[in-house]
């Protein structure tokens, strides 16, 4: 573990954010892969080549969940390797991560099921392909805890936007329904990350701004370094749905602006930097 635990959010602040997320996610409003969709009607013949690719691409991204989940375990351990106050903090966070992981695992299963039922691929083939990418390592090299949440904020928002764009162009109603469910979940995940990031900024002010700047400066979408042909994929699907993390930066900036009462020089500088990253893209 590399995190400097003296910079963790006070446990009551984190708990309030986790409680808020769980209150916004009642089981009664949840859904499952088995009953939420009319799988027998799924038909990939209604999709363009680009749209099929877009579904295949994001299945890889969602299916890497064990790698993402493990980052939280390594960075926020829930065992004897940390002192008691850190454990108390991490245990509260775990209430979020375990629920979040269940939802992301459901996304992976829904997309895989769609691929098989619609005729894009066959189950064994897909399983083998996912395994090749899934067993590659994933890590986030951060030392300040706010960085994990700022990174996920951008990531969740980028994914939500991707599902929205794709949903608006596909003509298979089953896929439309799947993408609507996924987009709604990602919006809730984004809200949690935004809430936690806000609480860090309110608690630590400028001291939390610099680590967030580092996240933007070194931002890599998950799997962009490991997924075979990642950039070719990204190009092939760009006219279908843009998987563009820089589009999510303005949402991060909005979160920062709302969190601070008055913009400091640090925040101003970050705003300029984010605008430059957008322009460069």
Beta carbons within 10 angstroms of residue 83's beta carbon: 9
* Tokens describing residue 7: 């910079």
The smaller minimum CB distance to Fe ion, of residues 107 and 113, is found at 107
The smaller minimum CB distance to Fe ion, of residues 23 and 262, is found at 23
CB of 107 to Fe ion, least distance (A): 4
CB of 65 to Fe ion, least distance (A): 8
Interface contacts to Fe ion, rule CB under 5 A = 104, 107, 156, 186, 189
Spatial distance between the Cα atoms of 237 and 54, rounded to a whole number of angstroms: 6
Residue 205, Ramachandran bin (φ over 0: left; ψ between -120 and 50: alpha; else beta): left
CB of 98 to Fe ion, least distance (A): 14
The smaller minimum CB distance to Fe ion, of residues 68 and 76, is found at 68
Residue 242, Ramachandran bin (φ over 0: left; ψ between -120 and 50: alpha; else beta): beta
CB of 150 to Fe ion, least distance (A): 15
Spatial distance between the Cα atoms of 122 and 113, rounded to a whole number of angstroms: 10
The smaller minimum CB distance to Fe ion, of residues 89 and 189, is found at 189
Place of tokens 């400028």: 206
The smaller minimum CB distance to Fe ion, of residues 106 and 121, is found at 106
CB of 231 to Fe ion, least distance (A): 22
Cβ atoms of 219 and 151 within 8 Å: the answer is yes
Distance of CA 183 to the CA centre of its chain: 11
List b or e across 167-204, with b for residues whose CB sees 16 or more CB atoms inside 10 angstroms: beebebebbebbbebbbebbbbbbbbbbbbbbbbbebe
CB of 62 to Fe ion, least distance (A): 5
DSSP state of 120: S
The smaller minimum CB distance to Fe ion, of residues 104 and 117, is found at 104
């Amino acid at each position: 573990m590399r995190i400097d635990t003296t910079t963790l959010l006070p446990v009551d602040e984190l708990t309030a954010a986790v409680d808020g997320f769980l209150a916004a996610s009642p089981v009664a409003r949840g859904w499952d892969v088995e009953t939420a969709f009319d799988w027998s009607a799924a038909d990939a013949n209604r999709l363009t080549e680009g749209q099929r690719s877009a579904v295949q691409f994001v299945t890889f991204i969602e299916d890497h969940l064990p790698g993402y989940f493990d980052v939280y375990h390594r960075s926020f351990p829930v065992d004897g390797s940390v002192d008691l106050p850190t454990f108390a903090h991490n245990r509260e966070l775990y209430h979020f991560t375990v629920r979040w992981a269940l939802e992301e695992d459901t996304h992976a299963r829904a997309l895989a099921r769609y691929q098989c039922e619609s005729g894009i691929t066959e189950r064994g083939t897909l399983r083998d392909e996912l395994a090749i990418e899934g067993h590659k390592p994933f890590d986030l090299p951060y030392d300040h805890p706010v960085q994990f949440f700022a990174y996920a904020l951008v990531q969740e928002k980028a994914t939500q936007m991707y599902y929205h764009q794709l949903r608006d162009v596909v003509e298979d109603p089953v896929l439309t329904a799947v993408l609507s469910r996924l987009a709604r979940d990602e919006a809730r995940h984004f809200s949690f990350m935004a809430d936690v990031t806000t609480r860090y900024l309110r608690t630590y002010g400028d001291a939390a701004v610099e680590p967030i700047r580092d996240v933007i400066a070194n931002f890599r979408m998950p799997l962009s370094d490991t997924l075979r042909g990642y950039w070719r994929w990204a190009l092939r699907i760009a006219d279908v749905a843009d998987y563009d993390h820089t589009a999510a930066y303005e949402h991060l900036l909005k979160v920062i602006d709302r969190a601070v009462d008055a913009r400091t020089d640090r925040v101003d500088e970050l705003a300029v930097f984010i605008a430059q990253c957008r322009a460069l893209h």
